[in-house]
Every structure is written in C-alpha cells, then in structure tokens.
Amino acid sequence: MSIRSLLPGRIGFGTAPLGNMFRAIPDEEAAATVQAAWDQGIRYFDTAPLYGAGLAEIRLGDVLADKPRDEYVLSTKVGRVILDEVEDPTSRELGEKGTLFEHGRPNKIVNDYSTDATLRSVEDSLGRLQTDRLDIIWVHDIAQDFYGDDWVGVYESARTGAFRALTRLREEGVIKAWGLGVNKVEPLEMTLDLDEPRPDAFLLAGRYTLLDHSRALQRLLPAAAEQDVDIVVGGPYSSGILAGGSHFEYAEAPAHIVDKVGRIKVLAQEHGIGIKSAALQFVLAHPAVAAVIPGATRPSRIAEDFSALAQDVPYSFWKSLREQKIIAHDAPVPVKDAS
Ligand SMILES: NC(=O)c1ccc[n+]([C@@H]2O[C@H](COP(=O)([O-])OP(=O)(O)OC[C@H]3O[C@@H](n4cnc5c(N)ncnc54)[C@H](OP(=O)(O)O)[C@@H]3O)[C@@H](O)[C@H]2O)c1
C-alpha cells in the first residue's frame, strides 16, 4: 500500500533529537517543541525506542496524550528492545554513532530483530507513547553504519523475524504500514529485490539531501517509485549543517563539508533565499519522496521549517547548484526553467 494516502501532508516531525541526541534538553523545551509542531499543523510524528533509550517516545507520548488519536499519524521502529536494567550510555555499541544518545536514559539497549523482540518492542512503544495503536513501523538501522561487516547477517535475522512479524501485524490490521528506517541505501535496494515480504515504504535518512543524493538517485528512488514503495526522507539537514548548525552525519562537520555548505550558502544569499528552503525543497522535489521529517529540539525551528517550505526559490538558484556540480544534473528540482 502506498503510504501517501496515510500521511497528512508532506512535512512531519522527527524526534531523534528529543532523545537528548546532542545535549540534555529540559523536558519543558522538548514538550514545547512537539507542541509547536502540533500548533503549526504537523500531524505526522516519527520516533524510535533507540532515541534516548525510550526518552523521545516518552516525551512525544506526553504531548500527544491529550490529542485526538485519529488526528495524527505515528511511526516508531523495531530492532532495539529497551530494558529496565541500566548501562553506561557511553559504553554502548552503536557502530559509527558510538556516543549518540549518551545524554538519554541509561536503560540497556538490546539489538534484536527476531519476531518475539519485534512484538515486545511494539508493546513497549505503545506504553511509552501512551497510545493503543501505531500506524507505521520501521525496522531500524539494519545497515553497515551500525553493524559493520556483520550487517548482512543482521539484515537476514530481520528478514526472517521483524519483516514477517510486521507483515502479519499489517494483515491483521494492527498497523497500517511497515518498512525499513536506515541511513544507507544498500538494505533498501536489497529489500526491493526480494519477492516477499513487501514493505509499504522506506524511511531513508541522510542519503537524499543536498549534500548526498547521487546513489539514491540512480537506482533506489526510481526502483521504489516503480514498485509503489514511498520514501520518507529523514535527516534532510544532514543532522544540522544544512539548517545553520554545525553537525554533519551526527558529528562535527569536517572541513570539506563546511566548505561545500559555505558555497551553497553563498548561492542562497545571492538568490535571496535561506539554506533551509534549499534543503527541504530539494528533497520534496523528487517524485518518489512522500514526506520529509526534519528534527528539532527548539520550538522556533518549526516555524522556520514552514517558512522555508513556503519561500519562492527561483530556478536560477537550482541552475547554479547544477552548474557548480553541487547537485546532480538529473536530480529533480522544484521549478522548471521559466526562460
Ligand atoms: N535510521 C533511521 O530511521 C533514521 C535516521 C536518522 C533520522 N531519522 C528520522 O529523521 C528525523 C530527522 O533527522 P535528524 O533529526 O536526525 O536530522 P535533521 O532533520 O537533518 O537535522 C536536525 C537538526 O537540525 C538542527 N537545526 C534545525 N534548524 C536549525 C537552525 N536554524 N540552526 C541550527 N540548527 C538547526 C536541529 O537543531 P536543534 O536540535 O537545536 O533544534 C536538529 O538538531 C529524525 O529525527 C528521525 O525521526 C531516522
């Protein structure tokens, strides 16, 4: 099933930063950010058990608890079970993203993509989110960035465990859709090559942005469109640098990225637009992309995102990005050449 009919609009809200991804955020600030998203009209929220070992789900659930359940769409993820037992968050094995969420809850995180763990994870998420149902479930991070060279084995355990369990939940009407939520294109390409099980959509983070899109553009997005598998784009700001922050791929940005973003900023300024407009509108210009879900921890970001989407970006800006080879020559842009 295409999830376009399920999603209430093309912009949602991603809650990874609310798991204290980069800093310890006061509960009130986290709540005010979710409320700001709601007040701006956002009705699609994405979260995961991993984000602060349950913290983002708890914070999101606290704000949504008094909202009518039929009015919003919720996605969370499976693959990590959060235990009551605690651990040292700095000693977690999170692949390339080792210290991410060290400011989150200290609860032990267990990677497990089996059927039993999937069902348990869903139950636990329902509790933390204070709801009786989830709409979309993503199988989380079955890719090389988290599991190194073992990732294919992890993928295989998810294929025979989580994929089948989620297919059943969808058939039973417990959830409406499922897919994979990853930072890499390879597991998604592999999944499209399977005869079954069939996912409804993919959450692809960081691989379709102004800074990194060539690979997804070549094969993944056309193949997904052909199979009616919608793409939700996560990490549209590459974790911050494309929004005016300093993070790229969840760490301080290296010099070559700072330089590249500097070139985009110069062009944006010359054309009288903001870099956020460029980042968000580029993502949404691809026809395979059903929605984009920027994350934030400050209420003011949400209004910024909406004005970024509303801003008129002239074709000459996109043309300059192409000419300077910042974006691929065949990457779709939102406006056609008017000349
Ligand atoms: N494997 C997966 O399934 C996966 C992976 C990654 C992401 N995702 C999903 O996609 C969502 C979005 O990705 P993301 O949150 O990781 O990254 P993102 O949307 O690319 O960037 C979010 C960051 O941008 C910063 N930002 C926004 N406006 C700014 C401004 N004006 N100046 C400076 N910084 C600014 C925010 O900072 P503040 O915190 O200061 O507001 C926030 O930390 C996630 O929350 C998650 O739901 C899924």
Contact in structure between 134 and 50 (CB atoms under 8 Å)? no
pLDDT band of residue 92 (cuts 50, 70, 90) is confident
The gap between the terminal CA atoms of the chain, to the nearest Å, is 39
**pLDDT band per the 50, 70, 90 thresholds, residue 337:** low
Q: Is 140 in the pocket of ligand 1 (CB under 6 A)?
A: yes
Task: Work out the average pLDDT over 286-293.
Answer: 98
| Least confident segment among 93-107, 165-179, 244-258 | 93-107
**Residue with CA at minimum distance from ligand 1 atom 27:** 243
Res. 320: pLDDT tops 90: yes
The pLDDT value given to residue 338? 55
Q: Which of 46, 124, 141, 145 is catalytic?
A: 46
Q: Determine the distance separating the centroid of ligand 1 and the alpha carbon of 236, expressed in angstroms.
A: 7
What is the rounded CA–CA span in Å between residue 294 and residue 240?
10
Domain extent listing, the chain? 13-323
pLDDT of residue 99: 80
Catalytic residue among 44, 72, 77, 237: 77
Q: 13-323 adopts what CATH topology? A: TIM Barrel (3.20.20)
Look up 315 and say whether it is catalytic. no
Using the atom order of ligand 1, give the atom closest to the CA of residue 138: 3
Q: Is residue 203 in contact with ligand 1, taking CB distance under 6 Å?
A: yes
- For 126-139, the pLDDT digits (tens) are 999 999 999 999 99
Catalytic annotation present for 46: yes
Q: Does the reported pTM lie above 0.95?
A: yes
Ligand 1 atom nearest 300 alpha carbon:
41
Burial 145-184 (b: 16+ CB within 10 A, else e): bbbeeebeebbebbbebbbebbbebbeeeebbbbbbbbbb
Mutating to test ligand 1, I would choose from 25, 249, 301 the residue with most ligand atoms within 8 A of its C-beta, which is 301
Q: How many Å separate Cα 293 from the centre of its chain?
A: 6
Residue 18 near residue 297 (C-beta atoms within 8 A): yes
How many angstroms separate the CA atoms of 13 and 47, rounded?
Answer: 9
Q: Which of 239, 249, 302 to mutate to test the pocket of ligand 1 (most atoms within 8 A of CB)?
A: 239
What angle do the packed helices 162-171 and 115-129 form, to 10 degrees? 60
Q: Closest ligand 1 atom, CA of 238?
A: 20
Q: Whose CA is nearest to atom 10 of ligand 1?
A: 234
Question: Ligand 1: does its nearest atom lie under 6 Å from the Cβ of 237?
Answer: yes
Three-state SS for 30? helix
